[in-house]
Chain A
Amino acid sequence: MLPDLEPDALVALLERMIVARRFEEELIELAGDRDIGHFHVYIGQESTGIPALSLLEPGDLSFTNHRNHGHLIARGAEPGPMYAEILGRATGYCQGKGGTLHLASAEHGFPTTSSATGGCIPPAVGAGMGFQRLGSNRVSVCLMGDGALEEGAWHESANIAAMEQLPVIFLCENNSLEALGQRAGEYPSSTMAATELTDLASVFGIESVAIDGLDVRAVHEAMARAVHRARNGEGPTFIEARTVRWPGNRPIWPELATGKTDLSMAWDISLIGADHASWYRELDGLLGFTRELLTVGFFSRDIVIDIDELATERVREGLSFALGSPYPEPEEALKHVFASRGN
Chain B
Amino acid sequence: MPLTDSAQPDLEDLEMMWRVRAFEEKVSELFARGEIGGLLHLAMGQEATAVGVCGALQPSDRVFSGHRPHAHAIAKGAEIVRLFAELVGRRTGYCGGKGGSMHLTAPEVGFVTATGVVGGNLPLALGAALSSNRRGGSDVAVAFFGDGAVQTGLFHECLNLASLWQLPVLFVCENNGFAEFSPISAHTVVERLADHADTYGISTETIDGNDLTLVRPAAVAAIERARGGGGPSFLECLTHRLRGHYEGDPTRRRGPAAVDEGKDPIQRFVHFLYDGAKDAELEEIEARVRAEVEQAAEEALSAPWPERDDLLTNVVA
Contact = CB atoms under 8 A, between A and B. Distances in A.
Interface of A: 150-156, 159, 162-163, 187, 191-195, 199-200, 203-205
Contact of A194 (B157, B160, B189): B160
Interface string B199-211: 1110000000000
B153 A155 contact: yes
B195 interface: yes
A207 to B, nearest CB: 13
A205 B189 contact: yes
Contact of A199 (B151, B152, B155, B199): B199
Contact of B153 (A153, A187, A200): A153
B154 interface: yes
B152 A203 contact: no
Contacts of A200: 156, 199
Nearest to B195: A203
A154 B153 contact: yes
A163 B188 contact: yes
B188 A152 contact: no
A152 B118 CA distance: 14
B287 interface: no
A59 to B, nearest CB: 28
A156 B119 CA distance: 12
16 contacts: A150-B157, A151-B157, A152-B153, A152-B155, A152-B156, A152-B157, A154-B153, A155-B152, A159-B151, A159-B188, A162-B188, A191-B160, A192-B160, A192-B164, A204-B190, A205-B189
A163 B189 contact: yes
B179 to A, nearest CB: 11
Interface string B132-158: 000000000000000000011111110
A236 to B, nearest CB: 11
Given A155-B153, A204-B190, A150 B160 contact: yes
Contacts of B267: none
A162 B189 contact: yes
A340 B199 CA distance: 47
B8 interface: no
B196 interface: yes
Contacts of B152: 152, 155-156
Contacts of B163: 193
Contacts of B199: 194, 199-200, 203
Contacts, number: 61
- Kindly list the 3 A-B residue pairs having the minimum CB-CB distance in the complex, ordered from nearest: A152-B153, A155-B156, A193-B163
Contacts of A205: 189-190
Nearest to B166: A193
Nearest to B155: A155
Contact of A152 (B154, B189, B190): B154
Contacts of B196: 203
B152 to A, nearest CB: 7
B160 A156 contact: no
Contacts of A194: 160, 199-201
A152 B201 CA distance: 18
A156 B153 contact: yes
Interface string B160-181: 1001100000000000000000
Nearest to A197: B199
A36 B157 CA distance: 34
A205 B199 CA distance: 13
B187 to A, nearest CB: 8
Nearest to A195: B201
A337 B156 CA distance: 34
A221 B200 CA distance: 29
Contacts of A151: 153, 157
- By CB atoms of chain B within 10 A, which of A153, A155, A191, A192 has the most? A155
A50 B153 CA distance: 31
B149 to A, nearest CB: 11
A123 to B, nearest CB: 15
Contacts of B195: 203
Contacts of B151: 155-156, 159
B310 to A, nearest CB: 36
Contacts of A191: 160, 164
Contacts of A154: 153, 156
Contacts of B187: 159, 163
A27 to B, nearest CB: 33
Nearest to B161: A193
B164 A193 contact: yes
B200 A193 contact: yes
Contacts of A153: 153
Contacts of A199: 199
A150 B161 CA distance: 9
Given A155-B151, A205-B190, 10 more contacts: A152-B153, A156-B153, A159-B187, A163-B187, A163-B189, A194-B160, A194-B199, A203-B198, A204-B188, A204-B190
Contacts of B189: 159, 162-163, 204-205
A254 to B, nearest CB: 28
A247 B77 CA distance: 57
B201 A193 contact: yes
B197 to A, nearest CB: 10
Contact of A193 (B153, B154, B160, B190): B160
A199 B152 CA distance: 18
A159 to B, nearest CB: 5
Interface in B106-135: none
A204 B159 CA distance: 16
A166 to B, nearest CB: 12
Contacts of B156: 152, 154-155, 200
Contacts of A203: 190, 195-196, 198-199
